[in-house]
Amino acid sequence: MILQYAEALCARRLVLASASPRRREILGNLGLKFDVVVSKFDENLDKSQFVGGADYAQATATHKAMEVATRMEKEERLPFMVIGADTVVEAPDGSIMEKPKDAAEALRMLLSLQGITHQVHTGVGVVFPDASQPGKRLIKSFSETTYVTFASLEEAEMLAYIKTGEPFDKAGGYGIQGPAGAFVSSLTGCYFNVMGFPVHKFANIVSDMIKDGTIKL
């Protein structure tokens, strides 16, 4: 996978276009060194124009990475790779949940998820700027989906969780790596995808791009 290329990648400038501490942790666990440049892209794409949450997250992630890549094009040391990511929760009725704006919305989200299986989608957009041709770039995007089942929950549990403040920076109003992990009765797919970054799929895709010569270290 990507581990045999980690040293060579660390010699290049990698950029994570996200403020998420969870994404920093997951990407750092691969042994990669990278700068964090938070994207200024307004996450306001029209959800009705997408087939589902996976496509929406993939498009948003790509726009995040492109915004940062464009902003950094005039820097002396151009990034080799800019990585954007976006995570959403999709309920069985097809509604797409991002981060709750307040406690009432967080409660509504948790109530709608309790006792059922929902989908967590993370989209990833990776931009490779071309130093020899300003403005030209290679873009690779993909998404990963994990199925998460919540146990039936008491409202008091949900209110206690909301009181911790944890739901407000997490899609769907919960973080699986925190206290809300106790809500999860089963999971099918990538755990790290629910945290915010599908590390296995990312590692495979970048590794394949190196092997087939799509990108050169």
139 sits in which H/E element: strand 137-150
Contact 85, 39 (CB under 8 A): no
**CA distance readout (Å), 152 to 113, 172, 176:** 9, 16, 16
120 sits in which H/E element: strand 117-129
Q: Which residues contact 165 (CB under 8 A, 6 or more apart)?
A: none
130 is catalytic: no
Q: Which one is catalytic: 35, 42, 46, 86?
A: 86
Beta bridge partners of 149: 117, 186
CA distance 30 to 82: 16
Q: Which residues are catalytic?
A: 86
